[in-house]
A and B are shown apart, each in its own frame.
Chain A
């Protein structure tokens, strides 16, 4: 790991607070099901996502488990898989080796083929042993992690279909090339896109929990800071990262605490009303908006160390959850300003 190229630290990114917040919220609460980052080129979209590795928490996994199953909740599934897919008989009595590692950011390249994404037959094993065996795909690797798709709007249509399938229910079902298998695939979907290159399909759009629209920073002073930091990083990556280490650690700790606090967070009924009326007024398709907004508001409260959601949380949550869910006229562009949409909604 030491030899790996240094990554620009998350905490050193200038501005783009909304994007950073959305990413952090998703780390605290993976059930928010992802962020879509829309914006022009060169606005630190990809940098931010790659930098996440810095602040991600640790999870427990079985050693060498290609399916990233959780020993706490999915040990039975693990045993079943070992038997079904690998012919290994393991009983619960003998302890299976477990380990802790950081949550992974798994990248899905735009040109990825269907078989690599979903999983396919293990060629080597088939030739050597004369047996069918599954070779897990990217979706298996991304279980309990972050699946990152750069330029998600350019993704091939049939790959999007697979994503839709598994993102919906957290299960990837393979029925192809002589294999029949399904495994859990719950991941946080993070996508970046440049709207000029074409829109996302509405169905996929809806799968992203949050959406942020980012622009280049207009403040000259901030722009100078960006240049300076980037230069400093390029000249001496190690030194730069050491310099930012404390800030990263603090943030990671804050995230840890928030995740711990999240189940305790409560919300009062009038505030639930507020969420529902927000969604009704701007005209959201279905109920995913309501559910995600509630989760986002609670996560926000936890992030701020509070046990109770306040209306400020809900307003912030609305700005993150609603922009891409507002029922649009056909082909209308996605708006930035939830407040103005709300006013329109109330006006009608």
Chain B
């Protein structure tokens, strides 16, 4: 629209990206492209440049949905009513941009406000989905798109149709668009469902070839200085490319797919452990487009080979086996013999004091717990004595940060509370006049009036309402609509890190640091506030008071020394204090406490045994429902495990992970099914 778009043919390199886009324009059934890549790799530039090359299609004249005049079954309600009495005209395929801040009414469509006021009729004002029919729907930074907009798009993409049922309008129109999105994985990943919607996926990287880089710089500078001259230079080449697309489109329907190649495709897909059948279908369509682009009427293995990568890259499941299940088994084995023992103990204590009533019941319960944990402690003492003497002697060490990975989703479920704040972890309705305006409701409570929705609601009645105030619009109370806004708030993440000597053994601290760093990275993407407490020797230290600077936390983590004994209870006490203070300041907050330890406490704050004390603390802390606890167990999954961290997790009502379980892997189930 504002001319001077960088010409398509002047883009240096990025052949894969260009190919993926071409395949889609030649054959819309290819199902769109997701462009993933680091910043500054011509992602957006290429898509916008493509708009200039797009061919013209036959449409019903004046139809906002660009209905196909020859296909009655896929027409909007209006065109179908008029069928076959309509005029045909040519229209260029468009690139319709869906900005991140789009509101629901513009995406779906709604009432035509101007017409409603002037003539008192309800008429459809088409939304972006209508405009994008038979065109390209382009979403920049698609991974940042709001969930409810994603839902709308998924819905339309799945059915190829959009139903408008709002503001007294009922309208149905086709919405078969080519979805093109760009994203930078640094900002977080895409929802798997949406990811699968994209037919092809391209990973773009910067050119490493020196000459290419220089060529690129020179061209860009030339374009910025003299855009018109630059455009003229590439006019011819652009025209040639456009011709190639048009020719390929005409041939598209004639391209045949030999039968033996179909089985080749399905074999390729199964080998790569692809979920569902979309990959097969997309690959066939893409291969046919490839053949058409090369002006052949039959698909060859070569065509498939060229497109296979694009189809499979985001669908391929990691074929590596799931983590060995032994540790879980040993845990179960340990617990099984424990169970009867405990019951016996319970019975014993019950028979000893049968008359004392409920209060003592509680007491004995607690006693029982401490007893059994005491037993554990003794076990631990025996087995660890040698190790511990080493611990106390060993000097402080600083371990490097181990490998990082994507972590599982950790968030509170959405509730009905309204809160304040900013971030990306948990969705919440907000009471401030901030946040994304997602939709409107007829209500009058907060004073956050959704003007557009109010006006639309009032519009059809304007002719009837007498107007003597000189205003064009008369609003009544019943028209008022209010905004519902939603934003994600960051949570408060408190890391409680065991930095005792036992963590230093066999690279456990490096792995733990890797895990914490991964959680921190996740915290960054979700805009959390973080704080960190470490405990070692005889006390817990607040390394980092609550801050939004995740970088600082990362730096501190890398420098954290390890050595000394394990005052777990002191760590828990410090965590409790931090959380309590935070909740005093912000009562609606939902802190997440992440405890990273092997659970082997051996320093107490008071007179109790260390383990007992820690467990008592834990059960007390669990009483606060507002806090989510997560225990990350760093114990080596060797032959002898104590499962102390698991017990701690049980007492805290915490979610329990072993370090290796923290990795986000939604695919484990699939692997189990296929393997």
Across the two chains, which residue of chain A brings its CB closest to B205? Answer: A286
Residue of B nearest to A171 (CB): B2
| A177 with B210: CB separation less than 8 A | no
Is A198 interfacial (CB-CB < 8 Å)? yes
Q: Which 4 A-B pairs have the closest CB atoms?
A: A286-B40, A288-B40, A130-B472, A331-B554
Are the C-beta atoms of A198 and B140 separated by less than 8 Å? no
User: Chain B interface: which size bin?
Assistant: 35 or more
The answer to whether the Cβ of A89 comes within 8 Å of any Cβ in the partner chain is no
Query: In the assembled complex, which residues on chain A have CB atoms less than 8 Å from the CB atom of B553?
Result: 331
Let me know if B456 and A198 touch, CB within 8 A.
Answer: no
Q: Quick one: which of A202-237 are within 8 Å of B by CB?
A: 202-203, 206
Main secondary structure of the interface of A (DSSP, over half): helix
The minimal Cβ–Cβ distance linking A177 to chain B, given in whole angstroms, is 4
The answer to whether B217 touches A330 (Cβ under 8 A) is no
Which residues of chain A from 22 to 37 have any CB-CB distance to chain B below 8 Å in the complex?
A: 31
Chain B residue numbers with a CB within 8 Å of A165 are: 99-101, 140-141
Given A77-B2, A199-B550: A157 in contact with B39 (beta carbons within 8 A): no
The B114-144 residues at the A interface (CB cut-off 8 A) are: 114, 117-118, 125, 128, 140-141, 144
A128 within 8 A of B: yes
Could you list 29 A-B pairs, sorted by A, with CB under 8 Å?
A113-B433, A114-B101, A118-B101, A128-B470, A130-B473, A157-B423, A158-B101, A162-B100, A173-B99, A175-B101, A175-B103, A176-B106, A178-B105, A178-B125, A178-B455, A179-B452, A195-B549, A197-B549, A203-B186, A272-B218, A285-B38, A286-B37, A287-B41, A287-B42, A287-B206, A290-B216, A330-B554, A331-B517, A331-B550
**Assuming A130-B114, A131-B117, A177-B106, what are 14 further A-B pairs, CB within 8 angstroms?**
A127-B472, A161-B144, A165-B100, A165-B101, A171-B1, A175-B107, A175-B128, A177-B437, A177-B450, A263-B225, A280-B208, A287-B207, A290-B217, A291-B221
Residues of A within 8 A of B455 (CB): 121, 126, 178
**Bound: A128/B548 CA distance, A:** 46
B452→A177 contact, CB < 8 A? yes
Looking at the complex, which one of A195, A286, A295 makes contact with B39 (CB distance below 8 Å)? A286
Contact call B38/A275, Cβ cutoff below 8 A = no
Q: Mark B94-105, 1 if CB is under 8 A from A, else 0.
A: 000111111101
In chain B, what residue has the closest Cβ to A185? Answer: B2
B533-560: which have CB < 8 Å to A?
Answer: 547-555
A276 interfacial contact with B, CB 8 Å: yes
B468 → chain A closest CB, angstroms = 14
Q: Which of B303-311, B520-528, B586-594 contacts A (4 or more CB under 8 A)?
A: B520-528
Of all chain B residues, which has the CB nearest A279? B213
Given A74-B2, A127-B472, A171-B2, CB of A121 within 8 Å of CB of B100:
no
Q: Closest CB-CB distance, B22 to chain A, in whole Å?
A: 21
A37 to B452, CA, bound (A): 39
Asked if residues A277 and B437 are in contact (CB atoms below 8 Å), the reply is no
Inside 8 A of B40's CB, which chain A residues have their CB? 206, 285-289
Which among A179, A263, A269, A272 has the greatest number of chain B C-beta atoms within 10 A?
Answer: A272
Q: Which single member of B2, B140, B452 contacts A184 (CB below 8 Å)?
A: B2
A168–B140 touching, CB < 8 Å:
yes
Query: A16 CB to closest chain B CB, in angstroms?
Result: 24
Contact of A156 with B434 in the complex, beta carbons under 8 Å? yes
State which of B1, B186, B550 has its C-beta within 8 Å of the C-beta of A202: B186
Contact B214 A273 (CB under 8 A): yes
Most chain B CB within 10 A, of A123, A175, A275, A285, is at A175
| B364 interface hit (Cβ, 8 Å) | no
User: A285–B39 contact, CB under 8 A?
Assistant: yes
Of listed A177, A195, A196, residue having the most chain B CB within 10 A? A177
B404: Cβ under 8 A from any A Cβ: yes
Min C-beta distance of B602 to chain A, whole Å: 32
A 43-87 to B, binary, CB cutoff 8 A, 1 in contact else 0: 000000000000000000000000000000010010000000000
Q: State which residues 451-491 of B face A: CB under 8 Å.
A: 451-452, 455-456, 462, 470-473, 475, 487-488
Residues of A within 8 A of B (CB): 31, 74, 77, 113-115, 118, 121, 123, 126-132, 156-158, 161-162, 164-165, 168-171, 173-180, 182, 184, 195-199, 201-203, 206, 263, 269, 272-273, 275-277, 279-280, 284-291, 294-295, 298, 330-333
> Pick the contact of B437 from A114, A156, A195, A197 — CB < 8 Å?
A114
Q: Which residues of B contact A198 (CB under 8 A)?
A: 547-551
Known: A165-B100, A168-B140, A176-B437. A203 touches B187 (CB 8 A): yes
Please name all residues of chain A whose beta carbon is closer than 8 Å to the beta carbon of B597 when the two chains form the complex.
none
Q: A126-B473, A295-B221, A331-B520 are in contact. Are A158 and B436 (CB under 8 A)?
A: yes
Q: Is B435 among interface residues, defined by CB-CB distance under 8 A?
A: yes
Residues of B within 8 A of A195 (CB): 549, 551
Instruction: Say if the beta carbon of B199 comes within 8 Å of chain A.
Output: no
- Contacts of A287 on B, CB cut-off 8 Å? 40-42, 206-207, 213, 216-217
With a cutoff of 8 Å between Cβ atoms, the chain A residues found around residue B38 in the complex are 285-286
Give Cα A280 to B212, complex, Å: 12
Residues of B within 8 A of A114 (CB): 101, 436-437
Q: Are A157 and B422 in contact (CB under 8 A)?
A: yes
If A130-B118, A161-B144, A273-B210 touch, does A286 touch B41 (CB 8 Å cutoff)? yes
Question: Are A169 and B551 in touch, CB under 8 angstroms?
Answer: no
In whole angstroms, how far apart are the Cα atoms of A331 and B100 in the complex? 26
How far is B210's CA from A269's CA once the two chains are assembled, in angstroms?
A: 12
Residues in chain A near residue B113, CB distance under 8 A: 132, 178
Q: In the complex, what's the smallest C-beta–C-beta distance from A188 to chain B, in angstroms?
A: 14
Partner of A196, one of B214, B470, B472, B549: B549
Report yes or no: B106 in contact with A179, Cβ–Cβ below 8 A: yes
- Report the separation of the CA atoms of residues A203 and B182 in the bound assembly, to the nearest whole angstrom: 12
Give A206 to B547 CA distance when docked, in angstroms: 24
Residue from B37, B216, B475 with most neighbouring chain A CB atoms (10 Å): B216
Q: Does B44 contact A (CB under 8 A)?
A: yes
Closest to B214 in A: A272
C-alpha spacing A158/B207, complex, angstroms: 31
Contact of A177 with B208 in the complex, beta carbons under 8 Å: no
Residues of A within 8 A of B554 (CB): 330-332
Complex Cα spacing A288 to B550, Å: 26
Contact of B524 among A115, A171, A197, A331 (CB under 8 A): A331
Across the interface, do A286 and B206 meet the contact criterion of CB distance under 8 Å? yes
B643 within 8 Å of A by Cβ? no
Contact with A along B74-111 (1 / 0, CB 8 A): 00000000000000000000000111111101110010
Give the CA-CA distance A141 to B160 in the complex, in Å. Answer: 39
Shortest CB–CB separation between residue A70 and chain B, in angstroms? 11
User: Quick check: is B58 within 8 A (CB to CB) of the other chain?
Assistant: no
Judged by a CB distance under 8 angstroms, whether B224 is at the interface is yes
Residue of A nearest to B423 (CB): A157
Chain B residues with CB under 8 Å of A291's CB are 216-217, 220-221
B101 touching A177 by the CB < 8 A rule? no
**Among the interface residues A158, A165, A170, A275, which one has the most CB atoms of the partner chain B within 10 A?**
A158
